[in-house]
Structures are given as structure tokens and as C-alpha cells.
């Protein structure tokens, strides 16, 4: 596999989608697939798929296509899924509860090791198999367990303060569900801002475009 530190962000963001489709193909018992067949399933072009994979040295063989198992494992290695980084979740409200309960962290490269909240009615309850700890215990916990990333499911007005504290405690990345954009706040800290409303507004635009086409 070729090492390439100049891989574009759009390519990186497509890798989890490739991984997900390949996982489904594995479950179906498919052994190999061509870039053309994969493009039809994913709604991409075959040339786009080949270009993406060539960023990492390419995985297929001309006339054969891609071995599903091999490609699935290679993409998993590129994404670092097998490293099993430690994650903590801050905020056990409705959104935090849903994420902790329904997301399979293990096959996404993470182990959720603890959940924190400052609501006395929530602290001590069990969410996703973990007992919710008091936010006051966060510092001692981080010093002992050394988590890698924090999932922020808290009101936007508390995001910066909590993120600063977490960075000082050694957190290396954030999965940020607050409305506060952390992306330009830190150097050498990985940030994925998730704005659910943005996705919904994109859908709104698409629906409006369809309606315009029907009316026209």
C-alpha cells in the first residue's frame, strides 16, 4: 500500500462509504467486484473509484477487479479502524443517549469507555451499558484512562469551555454535535463537526428543485 500524505479530504470522506458497501457485499457472499459494478451500486463513476483507490496504491487487478475481503481490510487499515481508540461522550441527553445506545462503536474504530453529564437525574443511570458519571469526575478519569476522542452532545454555549478543558486533558479529537464550530479553534486536534440541520436544509433544497422541475 502506498503512503500518501496529500490525499484530499473528499477522498478520505468517501472511504467510510466504500467500507460500508464492501461490508454489505461481504455479508451477501460476493467475492470480487469490478469498479464499474461498484460504481452502479454507489452512484459514483468507475473512474472516480479507481482514482480514489490509486491514492493509496490501487488494490485491483486488471481483468479481475477487486477482491472484496482484501479491499475491505485495506480500507479498514487506512481508516485505522483496528486501532480501537478510546472515546468518551459528554452529554447524556436525548442525542447523547441515542448515540451511545444505537451506534456500534466497535466496528467504527472506537471503544466508548464512559459517559459524562452534570444533570443529577441522569448521573448514575445506565446508558448503552455504561453508568453515566458526574462531569466533576472528568479530569480524574481522563488522567487515569487517557481517552483519545470526546463526543460532544451538549448545548453550544458550553462547547468551547468543555473542549478547551478536554484538550488540556489530552483529548486528540472531537466528534462535535454542538452548534459551535470547533474546526478552527485548535492546531493538531482532529475535529468532525456534525450539523444535522445542514443535512436537513440540503434535503429541503433538493425537494424544492424537484418541485420546480415538476411545475416546469
- Give the model confidence (pLDDT) of 51-96 as tens digits: 999 888 867 677 678 999 999 999 999 999 988 899 999 999 999 9
> Cβ of 215: how many Cβ atoms within 10 Å?
6
User: With contact defined as beta carbons under 8 Å apart, do 111 and 148 qualify?
Assistant: no
Helix (H) or strand (E) holding 175: strand 173-176
CATH code: domain 84-198 is: 3.40.50.720
Domain ranges of the chain: 9-78, 84-198
For the CA atoms of 199, 203, 209, 212, the dihedral, rounded to the nearest 10 degrees, stands at -140
* Selection from 204, 201, 206, 176 nearest residue 191 by Cα: 176
Buried b (16+ CB within 10 A) or exposed e, 41-70: eeebeeeebbebbebbeebbeeeebbbbee
pLDDT the model gives residue 23: 95
User: With contact defined as beta carbons under 8 Å apart, do 145 and 114 qualify?
Assistant: yes
Does 3.10.105.10 match the CATH number of domain 9-78?
Answer: no
Q: Profile the chain (216 residues) by mean pLDDT over runs of 10 residues.
A: 67 94 95 94 94 84 84 93 94 97 92 97 96 97 97 96 96 95 86 91 92 71
Amino acid at each position: 500500500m502506498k503512503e500518501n500524505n496529500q490525499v484530499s479530504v473528499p477522498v478520505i470522506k468517501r472511504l467510510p462509504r466504500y467500507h460500508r458497501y464492501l461490508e454489505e457485499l461481504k455479508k451477501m457472499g460476493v467475492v470480487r467486484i469490478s469498479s464499474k459494478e461498484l460504481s452502479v451500486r454507489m452512484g459514483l463513476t468507475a473512474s472516480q473509484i479507481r482514482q480514489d483507490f490509486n491514492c493509496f496504491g490501487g488494490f485491483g487487478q486488471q481483468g479481475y477487479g477487486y477482491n472484496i475481503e482484501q479491499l475491505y481490510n485495506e480500507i479498514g487499515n487506512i481508516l485505522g479502524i483496528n486501532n480501537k481508540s478510546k472515546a468518551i461522550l459528554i452529554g447524556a441527553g436525548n442525542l447523547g443517549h441515542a448515540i451511545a445506545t444505537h451506534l456500534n462503536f466497535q466496528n467504527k474504530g472506537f471503544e466508548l469507555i464512559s459517559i459524562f453529564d452534570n444533570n443529577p437525574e441522569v448521573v448514575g443511570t445506565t446508558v448503552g451499558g455504561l453508568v453515566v458519571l458526574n462531569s466533576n469526575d472528568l479530569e480524574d478519569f481522563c488522567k487515569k484512562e487517557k481517552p483519545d476522542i470526546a463526543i460532544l452532545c451538549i448545548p453550544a454555549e458550553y462547547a468551547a469551555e468543555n473542549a478547551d478543558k478536554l484538550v488540556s486533558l489530552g483529548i486528540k479529537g472531537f466528534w462535535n454535535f454542538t452548534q459551535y464550530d470547533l474546526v478552527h479553534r485548535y492546531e493538531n486536534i482532529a475535529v468532525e463537526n456534525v450539523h444535522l440541520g445542514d443535512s436537513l436544509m440540503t434535503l429541503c433544497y433538493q425537494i424544492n428543485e424537484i418541485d420546480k422541475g415538476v411545475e416546469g
